[in-house]
Structure 1
């Protein structure tokens, strides 16, 4: 696993080039230094390792071009970003290309395919077009949302390129972190496709690739479902619905919540696809609104998992946007991709009447949006490490219960504030800290105090719903994050394949 979850063709920016940076061929070092000092990007190539990032750039002259490889320490990396969308750089292409490129943009939209650009056209967008020649190809990266429509789209694309052959359209289809030349993807199901990632190149039959990628989407979405289920089945949960009682919720029970969880299956699958495409936050928000409306239809208007739709949707999209990586990188990705839009959305939301806004106005306590805008630092730095330690030393149930207590102790839970005000929040936080300080929940006195805490909250009509949502978030993040090799999840895309020499 690389220190950062970069993918092929990502644009990489560095702070400086010094003697620790290797340039091949060496005579191109002055050009590379000038390129970096001008603030231009390199593109990620294969062969990166734990200490150095391998990037490339092409030096164009009037009569030739030369590819340059640069090896740079990871600590010199400033930032990175996905290749630009085709519509963002289309005007930088030669006028003779516009008809074909605009037709590709129009063709891709109804199929739900995002089209990004790498190669010479990206260079032209940065430098002004001198890198393109009459015989230049255009390199496109096609990122689909639905595999069932992909082959139809590619057949239409092939017909389009036969009708408009200039320029030649090269490029790849991306599924998660697997890239396949788009013309090879049109082969018969039993024909091998050459697929590439940052870490390897391998041959896989197209039908096997399609099946593995379908399983990977299910694998990622089912983690979110499982996290909600694990939280639901936990007992006791102070003030919350469990298999033994309704907690402080007269309008909810386990069957209702389970139906609500099941109603989110398609939403989580969709978030895998949208995250892979790195769509805007507004697009994610629209999908979340649809999921919430569907959930409310299933529950008869009872709000069961609005917070989980937000938190887990963001988490799943961030995980799907990159190869498997650490928990901190997954949460940092949320801000990298959607931080500016989240901040803008926060400003708009704070002007609208809602339970969350009323709580924020009255008590000035941070809510779900503020948690996301922090990059979930509380979860990454405190809650997840605590849970991972508890998981080793305690039973699964006790580990989750202790983690819920930690969240109740540290989070300014808007549900508690709405139901009981600031004094109720402070009392709940104090009792949660006291129980944690008593020691393991496996000890009978500690367990008795914890059970009594549940009935105290039920008696007062209090429910830490925000903490419950973040417990599900923590459980899912733990499974999404890259584990030690001995603990690796059984993901279909992590199985061995024959690697090309």
Structure 2
């Protein structure tokens, strides 16, 4: 892994390309029936995706662990639509490349034609406001692998990482506006690494986040991090934005 990659802490939804030794480590972990899929991923040089720590490893020890927990999601079965996910872990030293999820602009060309104009509008609006939107899930995997992941029921999973309360409110408004025409879903990732579904945030807190959070101190949202899933008061998550340089 490069010096820049090594200095970057992994986050959920990040993309990981193992080294040759890393792929061998992954192959050793999986059942015989999954080895062909892992070998195909290695041959095609497709990435795995960072996932939450296994529950048995969560807690203080997980933070100091030299492991990164990964997942490989196979395309939906052509017959029954079943989605197979392979859970893996890798030593950090065996990671060749660690990258953030794909930028929204990177997936527009591979999106279904009916989505492209609105996705471009969303990307342009985010750029105007200097908001970085990234994509994970089915659309990102289809872009990365060229395989068919999207179905008629697929959502577009957007990852939004605001750096201020004002940017949070502007970004939520932008996502809400484009959700009228696009099947948008996804998460807000706060600076402390915790992420909340942006639709849940709207339903619980609303667009004027700072005001609503102070008025309803008993409100809670489901927050996900690398280590755990827990209910958190919105005010606590907003406080992490205040600490952003």
Match of 2:15 among 6, 11, 14: 11
Decide whether aligned partners of structure 1 residues 41 and 20 sit closer, same or farther in structure 2, where only a CA change above 3 A counts: closer
Deviation per residue, 1:263-300 (Å, 9 max, x gap): xxxxxx3xxxxxxxxxxxxxxxxxxxxxxxxxxxxxxx
Secondary structure at the counterpart of residue 12 of structure 2: coil
Secondary structure at the counterpart of residue 72 of structure 1: strand
Alignment check: 8 A CA contact 1:59 1:67 kept: yes
**Structure 2 match to 1:173:** 188
- Structure 1 segments unaligned to the other structure (5+ residues): 218-268, 270-501
Match of 1:121 among 139, 161, 166: 139
**Structure 2 match to 1:280:** none
**Structure 2 match to 1:79:** 97
In the comparison of the two structures, how many residue pairs are matched? 213
Alignment check: 8 A CA contact 2:26 2:38 kept: no
Deviation at 1:125, TM superposition (A): 1.1
Alignment check: 8 A CA contact 1:14 1:77 kept: yes
2-structure distance, mates of 1:92, 1:205: 38
1-structure distance, mates of 2:147, 2:15: 18
1:184 aligns to 2:212 (yes or no): no
2-structure distance, mates of 1:172, 1:136: 16
Decide whether aligned partners of structure 1 residues 25 and 161 sit closer, same or farther in structure 2, where only a CA change above 3 A counts: farther
Query: Once superposed, what is the RMSD of the aligned Cα atoms?
Result: 2.4
Decide whether aligned partners of structure 1 residues 31 and 107 sit closer, same or farther in structure 2, where only a CA change above 3 A counts: same
Deviation at 1:130, TM superposition (A): 1.7
2-structure distance, mates of 1:44, 1:15: 15
Match of 2:148 among 127, 130, 136: 130
Deviation at 1:76, TM superposition (A): 1.9
Question: Displaced runs of 4+ in structure 1, greater than 6 A?
Answer: none
Deviation per residue, 1:278-329 (Å, 9 max, x gap): xxxxxxxxxxxxxxxxxxxxxxxxxxxxxxxxxxxxxxxxxxxxxxxxxxxx
Larger Rg: 1
The structure with more strand, counted as a fraction of residues: 2
TM-score (norm 2): 0.77
Aligned counterparts, 1:45-56, within 5 A: 45-47=51-53, 49=62, 50-56=65-71
Decide whether aligned partners of structure 1 residues 206 and 92 sit closer, same or farther in structure 2, where only a CA change above 3 A counts: same
Match of 1:27 among 21, 25, 33: 33
Alignment check: 8 A CA contact 1:175 1:213 kept: yes
Decide whether aligned partners of structure 1 residues 40 and 192 sit closer, same or farther in structure 2, where only a CA change above 3 A counts: same
Aligned counterparts, 1:194-343, within 5 A: 194-214=222-242, 216-217=243-244, 269=245
- Structure 2 segments unaligned to the other structure (5+ residues): 1-5, 55-61, 206-212
Alignment check: 8 A CA contact 2:190 2:237 kept: no
